[in-house]
Amino acid sequence: MSIKLTFPDNSVKEYDDGVTVEAVAKAISTSLAKKAVAGKFNGAFVGLQDSLTADGAIEIITKDSEDGLNVLRQTAAFVLAAAIKDLHPEVRLGEGQADEDGFFYDTDRDDGQLTIDQLPAIEAKMAAIVKEAPTIEKASLTKAEAKQLFANDPYKLELIDAIEGDTVEGFKLGDFFDFEEAVLLPSLKDLKHFKLLSVAGAYWQGKSSNPMLQRIYATAYYKEADLEADAKRREEAKERDHRVIGRDQDLFFVDPNVGAGLPYWMPNGATIRRVIERYIIDKELADGYEHVYTPVLMNLSAYKTSGHWEHYREDMFPPMDMGDGEMLELRPMNCPSHIQIYKHHIRSYRELPLRIAELGMMHRYEKSGALSGLQRVREMTLNDGHTFVALDQVQEEFKKILRLIMAVYEDFNISDYSFRLSYRDPKNTEKYFDDEEMWTRSQSMLKAAMDDLGLDYYEAEGEAAFYGPKLDIQTKTALGNDETMSTIQLDFMLPERFGLTYVGADGQEHRPVMIHRGIVGTMERFIAYLTEIYKGAFPTWLAPTQVVIVPVNLDAHMAYAKQLKEEMLKKGFRVELDSRNEKMNYKIRDSQTRKIPFTIVVGEEELNAATVSVRKFGQSKAEEMPANMFMDSVQAEINNFSRDGKHKRGEGSQLAD
């Protein structure tokens, strides 16, 4: 009896019923069999030794694929659990999992959690297990047997209860047994290059109401060179981590004891944020926006009308009952608030496009396990804006918004970005506003606008907002990851739901189109992005402190230093005078460590000649120059956004009309 297997190239071959995945690989080529680590049968992972007993689609998973790396890491997680139990039998095991960053395993014990100091011993035990080269075998237990085996582990017992049927399928390594749905390597000969990295708290199954376990993070590769490259990447990530830089430079802090996901901005961080906010507001005012302030609380009925309550409820905080029938909601979005601004007056076609902008504070119901520094928070301030236009103004307004975004990008020296048109998923329409005509019209308008601009873009189904398609501008982070920085969204739905109108030239009421746009996203995420891009060495125009003055002798040169400080303060510079009773070289090193753009030293020679000795951050040599020339150069850096002199404030890249 035979079965028919269909390969990725659509070729079909016959094999004996019960053929293993490994045998299929060998039949194709010896080289493929050597690289094979697993298979996929009808889309589901299968092991090399698994038998195939029906017709279906087959794919051989090799070491050089993402799926192959996932199999290696899942195997490493299994071995990690075995090593932990061998060294620490009292430890209770949660779940182990492979991901794009490596793998992890959750642990728990009564007499103190495992610490980072214990990782080398656990790693050594893993290496010893691998050196013995045992075979990992598939095994199955009845639920009763599994419960007896894990009688003292409430986490495993909970997982067992969630399994359907009476059998628990898993793997055995010597006396160690663990159950999981993943596919593992049949032997450990390829598990040679792994590294245990860190430990951190993690709620059981990601729920803050559950116990906090200790998660051990690790990674693994088939090649030593890949592991070494990963170590370098992680070191670079550590040096750029905005949470570390934020702590070292005293930019912000988050204290879970007073509110997880609620950052406190220290003076240095507040300065950076204030400069950006002033810049954005000035830029938008010059582009015809009217800036407003609106409350962070709104009647729940508004979010029911907008559809946020229906489509976004799980990301919203619970409503607050005011006791008189009024239900108030912390806003997750600013658009209903700006709609109220529009509705407050009767609008004429002569007012359109009507551009409303706000640095609007919003709140999202984020789980504790998802929170991360400034990148994922519960309170955020969005650089938000909404334009209300007539139908025939959509394309020109879209172009105008995109010009503004790209001009801002140029001022911040953001050049590595791409355009993504985000559409509704036609196969999963229930999570979107139900209006086929609206979606067809708005998606075609967005595409036509991009084609008219002559910009390259790619299309992504399933990435649209529930109320309309959007253009997402994807930037590269400091570590090369994609992140949505800016969005422009077309919306025919909310004007309809809120009954928005304007009086046209014909004296009749017409429905406007609403365009949602965010230039740099939230202040929190944008500053995290900039912190990591700049590695904490902020350009002069953004730096919390732009100049540090170091007098050589506190008695002899302090008066001149104070005079310079006063002159710079009058020019609007952010300047410090280091009057500590420390050695001069210590103060210079400290300024460099803090990544201050300019450190100037003033001594007897500088006092007599009205000069300063200037050391720019990152440079080892100082330059002597007249004090007024130095101040002019700092002013030029501020005016030109710390770029060369070719750029003037207010100028930016322009798209062709």
pLDDT score of 77 more than 50: yes
Residue with more model confidence, 416 or 500: 500
Which residues are CB-neighbours of 360 under 8 A, at least 6 positions away?
294, 331, 334, 337, 381, 382, 384
Residue with more model confidence, 366 or 510: 510
Q: Determine the pLDDT at residue 653.
A: 43
Q: What is the DSSP letter of 35?
A: H
pLDDT score of 35 more than 70: yes
Identify residue 297 by its one-letter amino acid code: L
CA distance 37 to 20: 12
Question: Alpha-carbon torsion 335, 337, 343, 349, what sign?
Answer: negative
CA distance 576 to 561: 10
Q: Answer yes or no: are the C-beta atoms of 360 and 337 closer than 8 Å.
A: yes
List the structure tokens of 82. 């075995």
Q: Cα–Cα distances in Å, from 494 out to 218, 338, 340, 467, 511?
A: 46, 11, 12, 7, 10
Which residues are CB-neighbours of 646 under 8 A, at least 6 positions away?
none
Identify residue 608 by its one-letter amino acid code: N
Average pLDDT score over residue span 386-403 = 92
For 147-181, the three-class secondary structure string (H helix, E strand, C coil) is HHHCCCCHHHHHHHHHCCCCEEEEEEECCEEEECC
pLDDT, mean over the chain? 90
Q: Cα–Cα distances in Å, from 413 out to 275, 518, 522?
A: 16, 18, 18
pLDDT score of 122 more than 90: yes
Q: Answer yes or no: are the C-beta atoms of 560 and 551 closer than 8 Å.
A: yes
pLDDT score of 656 more than 50: no
Instruction: Give strand ranges (E) for 440-534.
Output: 458-461, 470-476, 482-491, 502-503, 509-510, 513-522
Q: Determine the pLDDT at residue 516.
A: 94
Which residues are CB-neighbours of 26 under 8 A, at least 6 positions away?
32, 33
Average pLDDT score over residue span 371-393 = 92
CA distance 463 to 66: 23
| pLDDT tens sequence across 228-269 | 999 998 888 888 999 999 999 999 999 988 888 999 999 999
Q: Determine the pLDDT at residue 311.
A: 81
pLDDT score of 647 more than 50: no
pLDDT score of 558 more than 50: yes
| pLDDT tens sequence across 413-432 | 998 899 988 887 766 666 66
Q: Determine the pLDDT at residue 432.
A: 63
Q: Determine the pLDDT at residue 464.
A: 77
Q: Answer yes or no: are the C-beta atoms of 565 and 549 closer than 8 Å.
A: yes
Q: Is 116 left (phi over 0), alpha (psi -120 to 50) or beta?
A: alpha
3-state secondary structure of 357: strand
Q: Determine the pLDDT at residue 372.
A: 86
Q: Checking DSSP bridges between strand 44-46 and strand 327-330, what pairing results, if any? A: unpaired
| pLDDT tens sequence across 19-31 | 999 999 999 999 9
Which residues are CB-neighbours of 465 under 8 A, at least 6 positions away?
422, 489, 491, 516
Q: What angle do CA 305, 306, 310 make, to 5 degrees?
A: 85
Average pLDDT score over residue span 429-437 = 66
Helix, strand, coil percentages (3-state) for the chain, rounded to 5, are 40, 30, 30
Helix axes 436-453, 394-411, angle to 10 degrees: 50
Q: Determine the pLDDT at residue 644.
A: 63
Q: Which helix (H) or strand (E) is 195 found in, with range? A: strand 193-203
Q: Answer yes or no: are the C-beta atoms of 6 and 56 closer than 8 Å.
A: yes
Residue 400 — pLDDT band, cuts 50, 70, 90? Answer: very high
CA distance 344 to 354: 13
Chain-centre distance for alpha carbon 338: 27
* Residue 516 known to bind ligand: yes
Identify residue 165 by its one-letter amino acid code: G
CA distance 623 to 613: 6
pLDDT score of 462 more than 60: yes
The lowest-confidence range among 45-54, 424-433, 590-599 is 424-433
Q: Answer yes or no: are the C-beta atoms of 163 and 181 closer than 8 Å.
A: no
Share of the chain above pLDDT 90, in %: 67
Q: What is the DSSP letter of 491?
A: E
* Residue 647 known to bind ligand: no
* Residue 386 known to bind ligand: yes
Residue 360 — pLDDT band, cuts 50, 70, 90? Answer: very high
